[in-house]
Amino acid sequence: MPAVPSCILDPIRDQFLALLPVPEDRHPLGCHNPRISDAVVFDRLVRVLVFGCGYERAADEHCSATTLRRRRDEWISEGVMESLRLLALAAYDRMIGLELDRLSADGCITKAPSGGECAGKSPVDRAKLGLKRSQLTDGTGIPLVTEPAPANVRDHTLLPATLDRFTALEQALGPLPEHPHLALDAGYDYRIVHDDLASRGIDARIAPRGAKTPIQTGGRWVVERTNSWMNNFGKLRRCTERRRKAVEFFLALAATVSTVRCLIRRAWTLYRWNTRPRNSRIR
């Protein structure tokens, strides 16, 4: 049984394989062991993402843990996973439409017991090592930007880098709204944040500090739901990667799976295709 339903995994795998360059045969005699299929390695990396297991647990007689790590590093250097994520966003925008005029951002802290470049003392877990994700979504909760950082970094200090990456999406999605609305919680209620958002032309809706504000106010609930989606992946819920690039690799893969899942659910009532699921309830 696949870790992700085939209706989601198959199109993601096919598009990913289409992005990969043709491997070069560098052996002078051409008598080395045959290269393991990229599709086999990709499916096992999806297992690692979903179940949060080690590479040794995902490996078997057909693909070793060393091959998984080596192929992961090859794909990281080529940047194909980020390209796949942008293609998934562009497909959603073309078929359904991203609500880029309404944005929501928030931070989420998870465990990072192995330490590394994106690990820091968690303020909510007795100073154990943790990872923070600065998540930016559109009006319906589609993940647009996921910025990793140590758990002890404040949310409002990660917002400029998150918004810079959102501006860079213009190359993949086309012109962005000039004055989008951004919903934030009380952790962003600082003068430096207000000034930065005003300089960017963003209409901020920030919950005031010290006042109880329902999560439904300003549409902040969608980013909380997206954080819950991302935490369903075991590798993100308990991250054991030590390098930032490896963390970003799995973040991009998780965002791609979440985007395609939302795309199929929304397209189920609008389009018909040969491999259309029986119902729109896709886990």
Has residue 272 been placed in a domain? no
Beta carbons of 193 and 204 less than 8 angstroms apart = yes
User: pLDDT tens digits for 121-155?
Assistant: 999 999 999 999 999 999 999 999 999 999 999 99
Instruction: Return the structure tokens found at 41.
Output: 């390695």
Has residue 191 been placed in a domain? yes
User: pLDDT tens digits for 80-116?
Assistant: 999 999 999 999 999 999 999 999 999 999 999 999 9
Has residue 60 been placed in a domain? no
Q: Is the pLDDT of residue 69 over 90?
A: yes
Instruction: Return the structure tokens found at 185.
Output: 């919680």
Has residue 108 been placed in a domain? yes
Has residue 206 been placed in a domain? yes
Q: Could you give the 3-state DSSP secondary structure of residue 89?
A: helix
In the prediction, which pLDDT does 231 show? 96
User: pLDDT tens digits for 43-67?
Assistant: 999 999 999 999 999 999 889 999 9
CATH for 200: 3.30.420
The number of domains in the chain is 1
The DSSP code for 192 is H
* Neighbour tally for 228: CB within 10 Å: 11
**212/127: higher pLDDT:** 127
User: pLDDT tens digits for 235-277?
Assistant: 999 999 999 999 999 999 999 999 999 999 999 988 888 888 8
Percent of the chain with pLDDT over 90: 79
User: pLDDT tens digits for 1-28?
Assistant: 578 998 899 999 999 999 998 887 776 7
CA-CA distance, 213 to 234, in Å (whole number)?
Answer: 31
Has residue 247 been placed in a domain? no
Instruction: Return the structure tokens found at 17.
Output: 């394989």
Q: Provide the domain limits for residue 174.
A: 99-239
Provide CB contacts within 8 A for 108, sequence distance 6+.
Answer: 132, 133, 135, 227, 230, 231
**CB-based burial label for 69 (10 Å; 0-12, 13-18, 19+):** middle
Has residue 46 been placed in a domain? no
Has residue 216 been placed in a domain? yes
